Every structure is written in structure tokens, then in C-alpha cells.
């Protein structure tokens, strides 16, 4: 393995429990293993993934209440530390990173990463954010040395926003790691996963509008009319009261559980009867990749983003229309009736989304080879 003594920085708002944060931690670990000095520069050092920061990486807390307020601290950091390269992720953090490099007048190579289909994702935010983020991206992304899209769907979305195609580089997320398989082997202390219990339908993600768990719950109500099964949704978010009310309304309290955020969802994925992604939109849904890597059959909505890419149009798992409750229920029942992944699915997913392969692409785009 080639090693280096250079410094690499990663800038993001926090280490909240999302896919983008988890992927940055995987990359940070990969760079540290190659001998780079790694700084995780956070607008605010908070979030459930703080406990998972690799021991070789340093956390730099800018102590900002909002990402925008981190700008002076980030400028100071760049002037003081002068990393060879910095990778920023999430739209609002990317804009702040671009401004900081201009103000700081440093030679640091700046690569920004988009993890979502921005034109859709910003539509779910506050009015000011909906108006400004696309405009700022169009104006300021020109200043990046490269813009990484984590799927071809995200790349297409960026180009439609006005980002020059020659700046855009598609690099999939480094999802499949040795830690994924190690954590999947840990025991599950939940009665639903004992032998001879009904199969568990699993959903994982933030409890937000984007993930559309109401459709999954309604589909599960139809599944229960045909066969015994249970539904578990791992994650936390502002939609919890709405989801719990829907579970009560449909009379599913005995068969649906929402345990909240868990540090290790992989042990549940490995033992689920089927993994379901009911999202309205995505960038590149890491949880879908993780479930496939662990050998669990999947059902996903054919939403804007990377689901179709991951499943190669439905070859490696079932795709259904967004928001179609009956189609989702039918697909779940079909998978539970024949819970086998197509031959070669695990090998393909490991090759495409393995940390080693993805690290090589990031080394090139950050010019650290």
C-alpha cells in the first residue's frame, strides 16, 4: 500500500447520523491507513458518529452554531494548516468551503462532493434555502478544482443546475468495508430475530419526508393481510410522531417498531428477511448497497438518484414506482416468498462500492497519488 506524509482535510457540518457523514468517516479511515495526516474539520463537533472517528484522525471543532458561521474559523484553519487537499460535502458546506479558500488565498486543492439530487432535495427546505442554494451552486461551484457526484443521477442533476460537465467526476460511495462485515456478525438482542420468528422487513434512514416511510408502513399493512411478518425502521428524525400515529391508525402497534438511531444497523440488515428503501429521492442510497453486500434481498423505489444504478434496472433487486403502496407491498411479498439474491450480486456490489477501489479514485481526483 502506497503511503504519504501529506495532510488531507474533510469539511462538513457535523457528524450527524446520515450517509454522507458515514462515507466521510470511511474515506478518512482509508486516507489515514495510507499514511496521510487526516483532519475532520467540523462546523460543530456533534452527532452520533463522533464516537466512530478513526483514532488516527484529528477532529477540528470550529464551534459554529450554523455552517455559515464556520467561515472565519475555516479560513483561519486553511491559513494555519495548509492541507494539500480538502474534500467538502453537502451543498451549504461546499459553498462555505469555496468562499474560505478564496478568502484564505491558500493553494489547497478543493474538491467538493454532492451526495443528493439537489434540485429535489432543496425543495423540501426553508424558502430562502430553496431559492439561494441552486443559485449559489451555479455561481460558486465553478471555483472548485473538481466536483464529485456520487451517482450518475446526481451528476446529471448538477449539470442541469449549470455546473460545467468537465468539472464533474462520478465516484461511487466507499460503502463496502471490512468494518461492515465485522459489525454484521455482532449478535442482535431483539426477540424478533430469534429462530422460527416471522421474517422482519427492515427500513433504515432518517425519519424525514425524503425517506417516505409512511408508504412503507401502508405497504406493510397490505403485506400483513397476506402473511406473517414484522416491520422495523431504524433511524431518528422529525417525522417520528407522524409515523407513530400512522402505525396506531392502521392497528399495527404489535408488528411495527421504530427503535431510533442505532450505532450498528448492519447486524439487523444481515438478518432481515428483506430490506426496503421507499425513498422519494436519493443521491446514492448507501443502505441499499450495504444490504446487498450482506446478502439480503432488497426492494427499492425507482426514485431520482442511484437506486436504478445500484440495481442495474432491477436485475439485482425489485424496483417499484415512487409512492405506489400496492406495488411496494406486492414486491415485498414476492421477495419474502423467494428470498434469494441473484447469483453474483454480492461480488458485484463489493467490487463497485469497495473502499479500496473508491480510494484510488479519490486519490486521483484530489491529486494525492
Strand ranges inside the chain, DSSP E: 7-12, 37-42, 57-61, 85-89, 109-114, 146-149, 168-170, 200-204, 230-234, 256-260, 274-277, 298-301, 318-320
- Domain residue ranges in the chain: 7-174+354-365, 178-351
* Residue 17 confidence (pLDDT): 76
Asked if residue 4 has pLDDT above 80, the reply is no
| Whether the Cβ atoms of residue 308 and residue 319 lie closer than 8 Å to each other | yes
| Whether the Cβ atoms of residue 173 and residue 23 lie closer than 8 Å to each other | yes
* Residue 127 confidence (pLDDT): 67
Sheet holding 37-42, edge to edge: 57-61, 37-42, 7-12, 85-89, 109-114, 146-149, 168-170
Average pLDDT over residues 202-218: 96
Helix/strand/coil for 18: coil
pLDDT band at 116 (very low <50, low <70, confident <90, very high): confident
pLDDT band at 137 (very low <50, low <70, confident <90, very high): confident
Q: What are phi and psi of 234, to 5 degrees?
A: -95, 130
* Residue 139 confidence (pLDDT): 87
Q: Do 178-351 and 7-174+354-365 have the same topology in CATH?
A: yes
Q: Other CB atoms closer than 10 Å to residue 29's CB: what's the count?
A: 23
Tell me: the pLDDT tens digits for 294-344? 999 999 999 988 899 999 999 999 999 999 999 999 999 999 999 999 999
pLDDT band at 32 (very low <50, low <70, confident <90, very high): very high
Asked if residue 118 has pLDDT above 80, the reply is no
Asked if residue 124 has pLDDT above 70, the reply is no
* Residue 43 confidence (pLDDT): 98
Average pLDDT over residues 169-177: 95
pTM of structure: 0.86
Mean pLDDT of the chain: 93
Q: Nearest-CA neighbor of 310 among 341, 332, 339, 337? A: 341
* Residue 305 confidence (pLDDT): 85
Query: What topology does CATH give the domain 178-351?
Result: Rossmann fold (3.40.50)
Asked if residue 3 has pLDDT above 80, the reply is no
pLDDT band at 123 (very low <50, low <70, confident <90, very high): low
* Residue 1 confidence (pLDDT): 47
Architecture of the domain defined by 7-174+354-365: 3-Layer(aba) Sandwich (3.40)
* Residue 129 confidence (pLDDT): 63
Cα separation values, 38 from 97, 337, 351, Å: 17, 47, 26
Amino acid at each position: 500500500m502506497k503511503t504519504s506524509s501529506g495532510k488531507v482535510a474533510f469539511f462538513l457540518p457535523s457528524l450527524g447520523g446520515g450517509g454522507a457523514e458515514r462515507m466521510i468517516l470511511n474515506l478518512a479511515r482509508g486516507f489515514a491507513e495510507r499514511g496521510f495526516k487526516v483532519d475532520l474539520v467540523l462546523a460543530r463537533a456533534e452527532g452520533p458518529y463522533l464516537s466512530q472517528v478513526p483514532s488516527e484522525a484529528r477532529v477540528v471543532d470550529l464551534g459554529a452554531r450554523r455552517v455559515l458561521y464556520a467561515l472565519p474559523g475555516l479560513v483561519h484553519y486553511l491559513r494555519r494548516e495548509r492541507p494539500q487537499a480538502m474534500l467538502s460535502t453537502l451543498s451549504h458546506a461546499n459553498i462555505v468551503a469555496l468562499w474560505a479558500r478564496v478568502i484564505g488565498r491558500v493553494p489547497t486543492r478543493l474538491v467538493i462532493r454532492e451526495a443528493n439530487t439537489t434540485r429535489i432535495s432543496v425543495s423540501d427546505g426553508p424558502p430562502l434555502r430553496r431559492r439561494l442554494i441552486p443559485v449559489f451552486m451555479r455561481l460558486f461551484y465553478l471555483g472548485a478544482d473538481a466536483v464529485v457526484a456520487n451517482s450518475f443521477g446526481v451528476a446529471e442533476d448538477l449539470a442541469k443546475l449549470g455546473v460545467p460537465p468537465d468539472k464533474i467526476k462520478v465516484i461511487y460511495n466507499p460503502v463496502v468495508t471490512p468494518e461492515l462485515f465485522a459489525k454484521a456478525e455482532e449478535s442482535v438482542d431483539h426477540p424478533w430475530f430469534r429462530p422460527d420468528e416471522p421474517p422482519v422487513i427492515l427500513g433504515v434512514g432518517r425519519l424525514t419526508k425524503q425517506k417516505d416511510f409512511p408508504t412503507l408502513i401502508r405497504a406493510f399493512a397490505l403485506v400483513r393481510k397476506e402473511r406473517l411478518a414484522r416491520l422495523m425502521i431504524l433511524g431518528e428524525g422529525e417525522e417520528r410522531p407522524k409515523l407513530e400515529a400512522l402505525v396506531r391508525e392502521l392497528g399495527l402497534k404489535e408488528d411495527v417498531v421504530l427503535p431510533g438511531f442505532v450505532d450498528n444497523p448492519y447486524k439487523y440488515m444481515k438478518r432481515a428477511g428483506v430490506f426496503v428503501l421507499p425513498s422519494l429521492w436519493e443521491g446514492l442510497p448507501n443502505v441499499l448497497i450495504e444490504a446487498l453486500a450482506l446478502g439480503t434481498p432488497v426492494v427499492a423505489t425507482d426514485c431520482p438518484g442511484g437506486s436504478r444504478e445500484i440495481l442495474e434496472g432491477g436485475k439485482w433487486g425489485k424496483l417499484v414506482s415512487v409512492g405506489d403502496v400496492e406495488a411496494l407491498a406486492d414486491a415485498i411479498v414476492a421477495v419474502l416468498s423467494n428470498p434469494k439474491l441473484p447469483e453474483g450480486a454480492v461480488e458485484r456490489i463489493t467490487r463497485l462500492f469497495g473502499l479500496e477501489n473508491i480510494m484510488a479514485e479519490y486519490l486521483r481526483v484530489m491529486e494525492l497519488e
